[in-house]
Structure 1
Amino acid sequence: MKKMILATAAFLLGATAAQAGEQIHIVGSSTVYPFSSYVAEELGATTNLKTPVVESTGSGGGMKLFCAGNGSDTPDFTNASRRMKDKEYTTCQENGVKYITEAVIGYDGLAIAQSKSAPAFNITRKEMMLAVAAEVPNKEGNALIANPYHYWDEINPKFPHRKITVYGPPTSSGTRDAFEDMILKGVCKKMDVYTNLYKADKVKNKKYKKYHGIRQDGVYVPSGENDNLIVQKLTKDTEALGIFGYSYLVENADRIGAATIEGIAPAPETVQDGSYKLSRSLYFYIKHANQKHADGMMDYANLFMSEKMIGDDGMLSEIGLIPLPEAMRETYRNNVKNLVRMTADTLKK
């Protein structure tokens, strides 16, 4: 792997005047962090611009900083492993961050990983849900109870007597949001025992509130925004599973491997064709107003979106980014080049 400068200097809201107009500041997703840092290094190495400062705050944390306002004391970009939420867009607008461009850089597979020394492990999305949900169906299947499962063979007798421990992202993480969407909400919405909780409500036209409660009894262990820490934990706890983006699986293939989901392992081909069911898009967002404070913002954005970086044979594919189809790359590249403004309607598409 090419050497990367992982810019870890903390982003301070009280940035000095000397920094203003000199250095780009980027916050957000730990999943996008390696890609963003790679592009930052390349910009610093190939231009007269200073290498941007990149901080891993989590997608949610990055959105809070990004949407706090404009100016040299706020981030110029935020990365995200899920799309900006409606309420985040509203916060941006209320705080004067009215001109934003959205870019999609590629795909990512949400990996359920384990130690390389652990036996092969294949699970379904429902079995994973039953392992981490705060409440699960009782034996009769007509009511929910506090999750009693502590070993995998309690969920499926065909599984080994293996302790359930899952190291995963915190609530500020876009990876956590994606995991809840695809594993909890995605499974529970098809199970009457969950949907009936809301059907009992007699408020007319009340929408079903998707279940996404994760247990808090020590089985699911929030492990911060540094996904490398999860990798380290898996090498020591060989019975545990960990949740992070596909790129960390690629980077640490000598130490960790993937559990298969319904018989399919995460790989560029299975993510692109949708056969791996835990797939998602990766984003970054540009704050137009900060161009007058930070030098080279568009140089960075256009480099990130270039074929050199996100193409089929781009540099970022070497560290785990899964490319978009060519036509989609061209669309998002043009959106960035022309600073196409994001609107509330954009989020509905």
Structure 2
Amino acid sequence: MLATSAPAYAARDFVWAAGSSTVFPFTTRVAENFARKTGNKAPKVESLGTGGGIKLFCSGMGDAYPDIANASRPMKKSEFDACAAKGVKDIVQIKIGFDGIVVAVDKDGADYAFKREHLYLGLAANVLRGGKFVPNPYTTWDEIGTGLPGNRITVYGPPPTSGTRDAWIELAIEEGARKFPTADELRSNNEKKFKQLVDPMRKDHWIDAGENDNAIVQTLTKTPGALGVFGYSFLEENGDKVKGASINGVKPTPGSISDGSYPLSRSLFIYVKKANIGVTKGLQEFVNEYVSDAASGRGGYLATRGLIALPAGQHAGQQGVAQKLTPMARPVS
């Protein structure tokens, strides 16, 4: 008797998405609407951080691994290669909208008007003094910038596994360091050494607060003078409890984030295994719901969770990617 070929893996009867804590509330909301509209099982959505979600997504094919990775930064070349090594190919990258990283304080706390160099000087482990990198000596904000409050430097922020942390390092810390000619020249000549010296966060005044951004919000309301770093959506949800600092004179708002004038703006993504379309029940329908005008379009229901919509042309382009399931190219970095 001839053996019949077994399927590569058993089909799951629910969609599974894992990754960014910033994207988590958006994917959760889409999952709720998808389940209500289709009658399918509600998708499983996990908040593991961008790095953790992509690592699990890239660990293999089959129902033991997610169909979707939620990400608050683009997939890295090294992650794409790790996916390929485990047989995870034909990955579809879909940009779902924009987010801003905010520096927030309790609603009744002092107002902060930061420049990016203030954030670097306050929070990097090594800072420039007299043209040399030294261990960070600053303990209060008014030691760093004229007009900043005299509060002790205490900041709760995302851990190294978080895409928010990656974007924070790139947009706030590295860009702040580059305001100093010594650091900018080092980056031009030796980017690896620049990152080694600039990127580490100080361990005495920066506290890794895990992947639960809501926990940071709660901490700020109980810790006078403390600041928190998280995605704009959590500021939007908790506007009665916390307020955002201005960066380079610009406050975080939907308009300033979408037009890029707010310095700590970024794009948000989902990554989908094309091979799982038609295998995992409801996966294509879930992706369709995510990119629909009703969800991620301007004025869609994800706006109430704090997602900043793409311009109409970009949104239509991403709908096309979702329909054609166009695989992404290998990232350049």
Q: Same fold (TM over 0.5)?
A: yes
1:334 has 2:320 as partner: yes
2:155 alignment partner AA = V
Find the aligned partners of 1:75 and 1:247 in 2 and give their Cα distance: 24
**Structure 2 unaligned blocks of 5 or more:** 1-8
Of residues 140, 151, 161, the one that matches 1:162 is 151
Q: Which residue of 2 aligns with 1:281?
A: 267
1:24 has 2:15 as partner: yes
Find the aligned partners of 1:308 and 1:274 in 2 and give their Cα distance: 24
Shift of residue 121, structure 1, vs aligned partner: 1.3
Q: Which residue of 2 aligns with 1:308?
A: 294
Find the aligned partners of 1:207 and 1:123 in 2 and give their Cα distance: 25
C-alpha distance after superposition, 1:140-181 (max 9, x if no partner)? 2x1111001110111124322201011000000000000000
Of residues 127, 133, 136, the one that matches 2:124 is 133
Aligned residues: 323
1:60 has 2:51 as partner: yes
Q: Is the 8 A contact 1:29 1:57 kept in 2?
A: yes
Find the aligned partners of 2:89 and 2:208 in 1 and give their Cα distance: 34
Q: State how 1:40-189 maps to structure 2 within 5 Å.
A: 40-138=31-129, 140=130, 142-189=131-178
2:200 alignment partner AA = I
Find the aligned partners of 1:29 and 1:100 in 2 and give their Cα distance: 17
Shift of residue 94, structure 1, vs aligned partner: 1.0
1:22 alignment partner AA = D
CA gap of 1:198–1:333, structure 2 versus 1, over 3 A, is: closer
Larger deviation, residues 171-180 vs 157-166: 157-166
Q: Which residue of 1 aligns with 2:224?
A: 238
Find the aligned partners of 2:148 and 2:12 in 1 and give their Cα distance: 57
SS of the residue 2:97 aligns to: strand
Q: Is the 8 A contact 2:120 2:174 kept in 1?
A: no
Q: Which residue of 2 aligns with 1:254?
A: 240
Q: Which residue of 1 aligns with 2:307?
A: 321
1:310 alignment partner AA = S
Q: State how 1:219-230 maps to structure 2 within 5 Å.
A: 219-230=205-216
1:89 alignment partner AA = F
Shift of residue 195, structure 1, vs aligned partner: 4.7
C-alpha distance after superposition, 1:1-47 (max 9, x if no partner)? xxxxxxxxxxxxxxxx9x94211111000000000000000011111
Shift of residue 51, structure 1, vs aligned partner: 0.4
TM-score (norm 1): 0.88
Find the aligned partners of 1:132 and 1:60 in 2 and give their Cα distance: 22
SS of the residue 2:255 aligns to: helix
Find the aligned partners of 1:233 and 1:207 in 2 and give their Cα distance: 36
C-alpha distance after superposition, 1:168-216 (max 9, x if no partner)? 00000000000000112223234333355578xxxxx865544343334
SS of the residue 2:171 aligns to: helix
2:165 alignment partner AA = R
Find the aligned partners of 1:235 and 1:284 in 2 and give their Cα distance: 32
1:166 alignment partner AA = V
TM-score (norm 2): 0.92
SS of the residue 2:65 aligns to: coil
Shift of residue 297, structure 1, vs aligned partner: 0.4
Quote the RMSD (CA, aligned, Å).
1.8
Percent identity for Structure 1 against Structure 2: 40
Find the aligned partners of 2:205 and 2:56 in 1 and give their Cα distance: 31
Q: Which residue of 2 aligns with 1:297?
A: 283
SS of the residue 1:55 aligns to: strand
2:168 alignment partner AA = F
Q: Which residue of 1 aligns with 2:6?
A: none
